[in-house]
Amino acid sequence: MIARDRISKLASNLVLLAIGILFVLPLLWVLFASINRTAGLRVEFPTDPTLGNFKAVLNTDTTYRPVLNGVVLCGGAALLTMVCAVLAAYPLSRFKTRFNRPFLLTVLFCTGLPITAVMVPVYGLFVQLNLVDTIGGTIMFMATSALPFAIWLTKTFMDGVPISLEEAAWVDGAGNMRALWAIVLPLMWPGIAVVLIFTFIGMWGNFFVPFMLLLSPERLPASVSIFTFFGQYGEPNYGQLAAYSLIYTTPVLLLYLLLSKKLGGAFALGGAIKG
């Protein structure tokens, strides 16, 4: 019995290790290639490491402007999403009306719609409204596409805040918005941070929306500019591509670490998502 247990433990460790190695190999490529003078397509340890690739891409056109654009776009959109989601979640979480259930079902239904499919008509709408190639329009659309899930998640967190404190505030004559601002929000900062970071990470990696709605090179965020720099003409410089990918990925990696800290380990997010 004991021996069998040992063998099954060993087997599951070995299988896990094999899967882990398959997952880590492409990630290793980007790490090694970024400091390799003559980076190719395979994982190889650089014999003569250099920071030249980073120096080559750290300039306004390649890195600084696209990253800043990404911060403005995704930061603005994530904040707009958050404000709307908190405002919407409050009545949904606190008051029972006939309107709640159909609205929540609609929200849940919208989380399932493929945003990709909406992009052609959205482009048409943007042409009509003169919003193509505007940062503001793109922010509003990005915020809207993230809203259904954010409302859902925010309401889930808000339901966890007991209502008794607010009831006391209402008795004292505080309005709903005051109660939300002074009592509910301070009690759910971790939840707010989770929704905000999760929304931002999703937007930071999104390629299709800015690719469709923005045209001018000086407005493109990092997710699109990486494609236009390295994907357009033949054989790219792999070392520079890897270095740039690392720079572009770093913010979301840091945010993810923050997120898993807030949630007490990476695995709590699954519970949040299951809703």
Partner 1 sequence: MTTTVAPTTAAPAQPSGRPRAANFLRMLPLSPAIGLMLVFLAGPIIYCLYAAFTNMALTGTGAADVKFVGLENFRKAFGSGAFTNAIWLTLVFTLISAIIGQNTLGLGLALLMRKSNRIIRNFVGTSVIGAWVLPEVVAAYLLSAFFNDEGTLNVMLHAVGLPGQDWLYAAPIIAVSLANIWRGTAFSMLVYSAALSEIPKEIEESAEMDGAGGWRRLLFVTLPMITRAIMTNLMLITLQTLSVFGLIYAMTRGGPGTKSQTLPLYMYEQAFSFSQIGYGTAIALVMLAIGAVFSLIYLRGLNSEAA
Which of 114, 136, 173, 234 is in the footprint of partner 1 by CB under 8 A? 114
Q: Which of residues 241-270 bind partner 1 (CB under 8 A)?
A: 241, 245, 248-249, 252-253, 256, 263, 266-270
Which of 61, 133, 167, 218 is in the footprint of partner 1 by CB under 8 A? 167
Binding segment for partner 1 among 45-53, 59-67, 111-119, 181-189 (CB under 8 A)?
111-119
Which of 7, 37, 40, 45 is in the footprint of partner 1 by CB under 8 A? 40
Alpha carbons 37 and 51: distance in angstroms, whole number: 9
Does residue number 113 form part of the binding site for partner 1 (CB under 8 A)? yes
Does residue number 30 form part of the binding site for partner 1 (CB under 8 A)? yes
Does residue number 275 form part of the binding site for partner 1 (CB under 8 A)? yes
Burial class (CB in 10 A: 0-12, 13-18, 19+), 190: exposed
Does residue number 217 form part of the binding site for partner 1 (CB under 8 A)? no
- Tokens for 98, please give them: 């006939």
Question: Helix crossing, 189-205 with 135-159: angle to 10°?
Answer: 140
Which of 7, 51, 105, 215 is in the footprint of partner 1 by CB under 8 A? 105
The secondary structure of the chain in percent helix, strand, coil, rounded to multiples of 5, reads 75, 0, 25
Give per-residue burial for 212-237: e unless 16+ CB within 10 Å, then b: bbbeeeebbbbbbbbeebbeeeeeee
Binding segment for partner 1 among 47-55, 56-64, 181-189, 220-228 (CB under 8 A)?
220-228
Rg (CA), the chain: 23
Binding segment for partner 1 among 51-59, 60-68, 144-152, 181-189 (CB under 8 A)?
144-152
Q: Are 220 and 69 in contact (CB under 8 A)?
A: yes
**Inter-CA distances, 132 with 129, 212, 226, Å:** 8, 9, 21
Cβ-based nearer residue to partner 1, 52 or 123: 123
Number of H helices, E strands in the chain: 14, 0
Alpha carbons 23 and 20: distance in angstroms, whole number: 5
Does residue number 133 form part of the binding site for partner 1 (CB under 8 A)? no
Beta carbon of residue 78, minimum distance to partner 1 (angstroms, whole number): 14
Does residue number 51 form part of the binding site for partner 1 (CB under 8 A)? no
Does residue number 99 form part of the binding site for partner 1 (CB under 8 A)? yes
Q: Which of residues 54-93 bind partner 1 (CB under 8 A)?
A: 83-85, 87-88, 90-93
Beta carbon of residue 62, minimum distance to partner 1 (angstroms, whole number): 15
